[in-house]
Chain A
Amino acid sequence: MPRLSSWFVRASFIYLILGFTLGSLLLLHKGLPLHPATWRLLPAHVEFLLLGWTAQLAMGVGFWIFPRFWRSRGDERPAWLAFWLLNAGVWLVAARSMPGVPPLAPFLGRLAEVGAVFSFVLHTWPRIKPPGV
């Protein structure tokens, strides 16, 4: 698989572990209460698994297997930008319920995520094509 896909996929694996760890703490807290502040982990749990794991894995595999132009995947720069923006966005949004995080952070995080998706679509759009084109 191409280098960028390996970055996307490995990052998604890390988010899977982080998301499952937070989810396990939340579930443990439901069964055997730990501390009321445990619920603060919920937004990060959701963010890590929905965007960090699922969306990021889909982007990595899409970049790898979608049709190419002869031997090239076209301009890879927008896809790399998508990787960095998505990961910055996930952390900014995930931090929303941690103490001391400015309220602007999740907003900027969502903007970064939109930028990531826009950038990824920009790269991928021309690759959705019939064979031989």
Chain B
Amino acid sequence: MPLLTRRFIRLSLIYLVAALLLGVLVEGRTALSLPPGLNTLRPVYFHLFMVGWVTQLIFGVIYWMFPKASPQRPRGSEVLNWATFGLLNARLVLRAVGEPLGALRPEAVWGWLLALSALLQWLAGLLFVLNAWARVKVR
């Protein structure tokens, strides 16, 4: 298994654990008398699960197992592949920090953090598809 796939899959597993732990906190706020502000973490929980776990795992497996793009560059551009990995994870962390803080303390700085996170997410998806498209080959 290539290095980038190992990075994708290990991080996806970490996000899976983090998402489910966050789910426990969000759902347990009443039973455990936790601060009601924890409800602002609900979208973060969902995105850690669907983007951090599911999408990241898919990206890692596609990078590993899809048909080779060409003999010279079997997995396409390595720069784009690593950029996808970096952008996706930077986006997840920025959102996980920025969204609850933005909901609790609506200062402009958190808004810009979310805007940056939005841009990184979009770029990560675009770079992934640009690179993976050539590996979808009919045989």
Query: B-contacting residues of A (Cβ < 8 Å)?
Result: 1-3, 6, 9-10, 13-14, 16-17, 19-21, 23-25, 27-28, 30-32, 49-50, 53-54, 57
Contact = CB atoms under 8 A, between A and B. Distances in A.
Nearest to A4: B138
B119 A1 contact: no
Contact of A30 (B55, B114, B119, B122): B114
A27 B58 contact: no
Contact of B118 (A2, A25, A49): A25
Contacts of A49: 50
Contact of A28 (B114, B129, B137, B138): B114
Interface residues of B, number: 31
B125 A9 contact: no
A16 B125 contact: yes
A17 B126 contact: yes
B113 to A, nearest CB: 7
A27 B129 contact: no
A68 to B, nearest CB: 14
B129 A16 contact: yes
Contacts of A19: 125
B12 interface: no
B32 interface: no
Interface string B6-36: 0000000000000000000000000000000
B122 A21 contact: yes
A53 B55 CA distance: 9
Given A17-B129, A21-B122, 14 more contacts: A6-B138, A13-B129, A16-B55, A16-B129, A23-B121, A27-B115, A27-B118, A30-B114, A31-B98, A31-B117, A31-B118, A32-B114, A50-B50, A57-B58
Nearest to B54: A54
28 contacts: A1-B67, A1-B136, A3-B138, A9-B136, A13-B132, A13-B133, A16-B128, A17-B125, A17-B126, A17-B129, A20-B122, A23-B118, A24-B119, A24-B121, A25-B118, A27-B95, A27-B121, A28-B115, A31-B102, A31-B111, A31-B112, A31-B115, A31-B118, A32-B114, A50-B50, A54-B50, A54-B54, A54-B58
Nearest to B114: A31
A7 to B, nearest CB: 9
Contacts of B138: 1-3, 6
A32 B54 CA distance: 28
